[in-house]
Amino acid sequence: MGGDRGPRCIVPAALRSLSLYPSLHITLVGAADIVEPLLSDAVVASDRLSFRPAREQILADDPPASVLRGKRDASMRVALELVRDGQVDGCLSAGNTGALMVLARAVLGTLEGIRRPAIMAALPVSGRLCHVLDLGANVDCPAEQLVEFAIMGAAAAAELSGNPAPRVGLLNIGSETHKGNRQVRQAAALLQVCPAINYVGSVEGDGLFRGEADVVVCDGFVGNVLLKASEGVAGYLQAELRSAVADSWLLRWLAPLVLDVTRRTRERHDPARYNGASLLGLRGVVMKSHGSADEEAILAAIGHTFKACQARLPERIAGRVRECGAVL
Amino acid sequence: MGGDRGPRCIVPAALRSLSLYPSLHITLVGAADIVEPLLSDAVVASDRLSFRPAREQILADDPPASVLRGKRDASMRVALELVRDGQVDGCLSAGNTGALMVLARAVLGTLEGIRRPAIMAALPVSGRLCHVLDLGANVDCPAEQLVEFAIMGAAAAAELSGNPAPRVGLLNIGSETHKGNRQVRQAAALLQVCPAINYVGSVEGDGLFRGEADVVVCDGFVGNVLLKASEGVAGYLQAELRSAVADSWLLRWLAPLVLDVTRRTRERHDPARYNGASLLGLRGVVMKSHGSADEEAILAAIGHTFKACQARLPERIAGRVRECGAVL
């Protein structure tokens, strides 16, 4: 168990999630001296919660490449091995994203036809969710890899949202066919002839936030900038709003109420708060929680992981990849 | 004169700007039958305002490449020719951005050492301005071109902000040297050895909105996504806020006041409202106004154009390029 708050936040969230989801089973993986004192006798007796001790942990600044060689008993690796060995259906981690990506590829392997996994998150926009990928796992993506992202995103969004034909858009800087960089123009040509994808064309940065697509595809460099800039703007406007309220004599005495209203708006829509990014393309469910997640955010991420396991997301993605084989 | 509102918005803004800036001279270029009725006799007699009729105009959907061949008497081309011929110091247009870029390159040419011009805008963040380039003129940028953007941005920001050593950052997806795509990693290595640039390293999407740099450099694809996503988030949060206020029984009757406070906050910080993007790297001052600009926004863009002319921006950029010659 990693993340900024560690087991003291994750264990209570896990216990609450067992009450929320009656068919959920959880295996906690972490340091015995920290986790065991957090588990009551009643919890230990439960057949829906088990604990697997791990002596090591991956740190936030461990270089992703180095984790492959050392730390064989790191909690992150042990949890992924439980997925590989069929002892659990999925793994949720709040630890080092780069390390999780590298270890998940090494331990679980990628699905047939998928070059590299991608990171997908769902952003709440216009009363629905927009699934965006890749968010930073892959930079320098050729067109074929963007098409893989589209196929994986469409399969995942279909399972997670219940919409069998989610609208898939390519993030671009204009809607005309000559717009965009080379990879994006080539990917657009490939997606137009892919019958298993409901491709709706280019989506611009503002169109994403107007809900113009259910799945938006981009390379990991662009996606990461988009996600972080969105968080940055939201945080910045919140701070500006606070100072604007303080400057208004009439609103100043109402400030706690105004700020409560606006804080909830921001929290509901700040991408950082929508916790649980999927690592798609692996032979198993792997979910990444924000490192700074609190108990509520971990609870949300456990729910997303459970849903992905129930939907058998890797099998669904593998099936969609086979349907699209001719395009790739 | 182009843009969504045309001369009926631009002419009054031009007249107001003559009062604001006593040493400013303006030449209006456009259709005589539309512009002349907007000019009073007193205005016509002024030696600080002149009118140059042009029979054609570039339309919003004219393909940029086609404007090179046809429409020799388009107002956009005529205005750029006035700059080339030294009859005016700079050109401001609210028309088709792609056409303006293509025509400006053809009519004015680029500065020595500059491959292609870039579009730069100043975003208000954390009480100061952050100059971001490129915002869409160049996709598929090699490292050397990103370095050109850094040099041009540093020179322009120094002149426009008065800070002789603006902090220059490369937009990236992490601060470690191994982060980023190939072009960004190579550009970082080049900028580290460029003594004429105050290079501060990588800046992430959220760091830009925390004011971590005065100039942020990226390719035009990433910059355009960043700009439009920022506008999208700001617009979306404003709409959400409106609905949150409507849902609060106590705030509902204060709604006009709350929305006025928040609207002003948003307008002050919405990148779309900060009007006037510079086309840098040309042998002349060329400024692009947002097409949807209203009279206030045009007035702001005229002010920025005037400032760029007074600062002799193209000469300053040419000088900075010569200083950095060894790097490129």
Distance from CA of A49 to the nearest CA of B (A): 37
Which 218-237 residues of chain B touch chain A by CB within 8 A? 218-222, 224-237
Shortest Cα distance, chain A CAs vs residue B300, angstroms:
22
Top residue of B236, B252, B273 to mutate, by most chain A CBs within 10 Å, is B236
- Higher model confidence: residue A247 or residue A153? A153
**What average pLDDT does the segment B22-32 reach?**
95
pLDDT of residue A272: 46
Nearest CA in chain A to B127: A240
Q: Is there a contact between A248 and B261 if contact means CB atoms under 8 Å apart?
A: yes
CA-to-CA distance for A270 and B257, rounded, in angstroms?
Answer: 25
Q: How confident is the model at residue A233 (pLDDT cuts 50, 70, 90)?
A: confident
pLDDT band at residue B259, thresholds of 50, 70 and 90? low
Chain A positions in Cβ-Cβ contact with residue B265 (cut-off 8 Å): 237, 240-241, 244
Contact (Cβ atoms closer than 8 angstroms) between residue A211 and residue A128: yes
Q: Where are the alpha helices (DSSP H) in chain A?
A: 7-20, 32-35, 41-45, 75-84, 97-108, 143-161, 182-191, 205-208, 220-247, 249-252, 255-269, 295-310, 313-323
Surface of B (236-275) touching A: CB under 8 A: 236-237, 240-241, 244-245, 247-248, 250-251, 254, 257-258, 261-262, 264-266, 268-269
pLDDT given at position B271: 47
| Cα–Cα distance for residue pair B217/B201, rounded to 1 Å | 11
Compare CB distances from A251 to B220, B227, B258 and report the shortest one's residue: B258
- Per CATH, which fold does B125-272+318-323 belong to? Isopropylmalate Dehydrogenase (3.40.718)
As for the ipTM of the complex, it is 0.86
Domain residues of chain A, as ranges? 7-115+283-315, 124-272+318-323
Q: Quick one: pLDDT band at residue A64, thresholds 50, 70, 90?
A: confident
Pairwise pLDDT comparison (A135 vs B253), residue with the higher score = A135
- Residue B70: the pLDDT is 86
Architecture of the B7-115+274-315 domain = 3-Layer(aba) Sandwich (3.40)
Instruction: Provide the mean pLDDT of chain B.
Output: 89
Q: Which two tokens stand for residue A185?
A: 């123009």
User: pLDDT tens for residues A125-138?
Assistant: 877 899 999 999 99
Query: Tell me: the pLDDT tens digits for B293-321?
Result: 889 899 999 999 999 999 999 999 999 99
More confident call, B252 vs B27: B27
Given a contact cutoff of 8 angstroms between Cβ atoms, the answer to whether A131 and A218 are in contact is no
Q: Do domains B7-115+274-315 and B125-272+318-323 have the same CATH topology?
A: yes
CB contacts, 8 Å: A265 with chain B:
237, 240-241, 244
Interface residue B185 vs chain A (CB under 8 A): no
Catalogue the long-range contacts made by B15-21 (C-beta closer than 8 Å, 24 or more residues apart): B15/B43, B15/B49, B16/B295, B16/B299, B17/B299, B17/B302, B17/B303, B17/B306, B18/B46, B18/B48, B18/B49, B20/B299, B20/B303, B21/B303, B21/B306
Within 8 A by CB and 6+ apart from A56, the residues are: A71, A72, A73, A74, A75
pLDDT recorded at residue B328: 60
Nearest CB among A205, A225, A230 relative to B171 is that of A225
Per this entry, what is the length of chain A? 328
Lowest-pLDDT choice from A8-12, B184-188, B247-251: B247-251
The pLDDT of residue B142: 94
Architecture per CATH, A7-115+283-315? 3-Layer(aba) Sandwich (3.40)
Sign of dihedral through CA atoms A193, A197, A201, A204? negative
Residue B150's Cβ-count burial label (10 Å; 0-12, 13-18, 19+) is buried
Q: Residue B266 pLDDT more than 80?
A: no
Distance CA B145, CA A12 (A): 52
**What does each C-alpha distance from A293 to A2, A12, A101 come to in angstroms?**
10, 13, 19
Band the pLDDT of A22: cuts 50, 70, 90. Answer: very high
Distance CA A14, CA A11 (A): 5
> Higher model confidence: residue A180 or residue B30?
B30
pLDDT digits (tens, 9 = 90+) for A252-307: 777 676 667 666 666 665 544 578 899 999 999 999 998 888 898 999 999 999 99
Q: Which has more confidence, B246 or A11?
A: A11
- Tokens standing for residue B31: 């259709």
Mean pLDDT of B48-72: 89
Give yes or no for residue A63 having a pLDDT over 90: no
Q: What's the topology of domain A124-272+318-323?
A: Isopropylmalate Dehydrogenase (3.40.718)
Rounded distance between C-alpha atoms, residue B168 and residue B165, angstroms: 9
Strands B90-93 vs B26-30: parallel, antiparallel or unpaired? unpaired
- For chain A, say whether B94 makes contact (Cβ under 8 Å): no
Highest mean pLDDT among A1-10, A181-190, A232-241, B235-244 belongs to A181-190
B257 and A264 within 8 Å at the Cβ level: the answer is no
- Of the pLDDT bands very low, low, confident and very high (cuts 50, 70, 90), residue B239 is confident
Q: What is the pLDDT of residues B158-171, one digit of tens each?
A: 999 999 999 999 99
